Amino acid sequence: MSSTAPTADRVARADRLAPVEVAEVIGLARAAGDADGADPLDEHTLLRLRDPEAAAVHLTARAADNTLTGYAHLDTTDPTGGIGVELVVHPAYRRRGTGRALARGVLAAAGGPLRAWAHGDHPSAAALAVDLGFARARVLWQLRRPLTAALPEAALPDGVELRAFRPGADDEAWLALNNAAFAQHPEQGRWTDGDLRLRLAEPWFDPAGFLLAVDSASGRLLGFHWTKVHERPGSARIGEVYVLGVDPTAHRGGLGRALTTAGLAYLRDRRGLDRVMLYVDESNTGAVALYERLGFARWSAHVNYHLG
């Protein structure tokens, strides 16, 4: 069903969603992702959406027949630093004011600065952001690479060996290393034990694909490559360089390149994948250069808009 005539969708606010409403939102997001080529809600939002204890504001837009036509998620964990916003409209209900109505609801519900993601850098999202006074502040690139092409040689530095992550035993040391490696990153550098546990409980988690580089003598963690496999009915499987980090004291020794290559080989040889993706900030020129040397090329862009 579709309509191009403007209608007044009903927008409602809630601090919690019932399981049936969560399922509706996930279905709407999947339809939008299939239509746009980019998922409108990132992993962080989906995890919080399914967590009844997560601090969030949910805005739902519904047509006269109660069909869910749009959704906005406000992450209120850090209102001073910026309320995280993601917004999606069902492809069959666009061009009827739903996105603008949800955006007005976001502005009314906000109690601080806003940080809104536009996944895929969709032109309509950019136009709405400009109209509402948001400024384009950050660009996250998705890069991709075929795994059918040869992988470069990249030996581990002397005195370093790889092993798999051990849930429960490595949690604390890994969190410390992750937060040190991403100390300046706005999201990755603030992970808590709860953030880690949520992901370890996800169906896609595979400890064998969570590679740790350790000092052979002391066992100290020096770096890691956490891989992920995306599997969705009707879509081709694709691997991901989920998180790659190196201890700041171990930079410039080739460890990042070796870890990247080891993870790609795992996804190809152990998981049977023929393509892989990753996300990297446009401003992280060192990481972008590393990935381009390893055969990655730009696939899409995700833009973060700021207001306030």
pLDDT per residue over 9-65, tens digit each?
999 999 999 999 999 999 999 999 999 989 999 999 999 998 888 889 999 999 999
Q: 199 φ, ψ to 5°?
A: -75, -35
CA torsion sign for 291, 297, 300, 304 is positive
- Output the pLDDT for position 112: 84
> What pTM, to 2 d.p., does this model score?
0.88
**pLDDT value for 133:** 93
What average pLDDT does the structure give for the chain? 92
The pLDDT, as a whole number, for residue 250 is 84
Whole-angstrom distance, CA of residue 48 vs CA of residue 41: 11
pLDDT at 146: 97
Terminal-residue alpha carbon distance, the chain: 38
The angle formed by the CA atoms of residues 56, 58 and 81, to the nearest 5 degrees, is 40
CA distance 303 to 301: 6
The residue among 112 and 109 whose pLDDT is bigger is: 109
Give the model's pLDDT for residue 135: 95
Q: What would the CATH number be for the domain defined by 144-300?
A: 3.40.630.30
Report the C-alpha gap between 227 and 210 in whole angstroms.
Answer: 6
CATH topology of domain 10-133: Aminopeptidase (3.40.630)
Boundaries of CATH 3.40.630.30 in the chain?
10-133, 144-300
Of the candidates 27, 38, 87, 33, the one whose C-alpha atom is nearest the C-alpha of residue 60 is 87
Q: Give residue 2's pLDDT band: very low, low, confident or very high (50, 70, 90).
A: very low
Tell me the per-residue pLDDT of 160-218, one tens digit each, with 9 for 90 and over: 999 999 999 999 999 999 999 998 887 887 899 999 999 999 999 999 999 999 999 99
CA 124-129-132 angle, to 5 degrees, is: 125
Q: What would you report as the CA-atom Rg of the chain, rounded to the nearest whole angstrom?
A: 21
What does the alpha-carbon distance between residue 191 and residue 41 come to, in Å, rounded to a whole number? 19
Is the pLDDT assigned to residue 7 strictly greater than 80?
Answer: no
Q: In whole angstroms, what is the distance from residue 135 CA to residue 40 CA?
A: 19
Rounded to 5, what percent of the chain is helix, strand, coil? 35, 30, 35
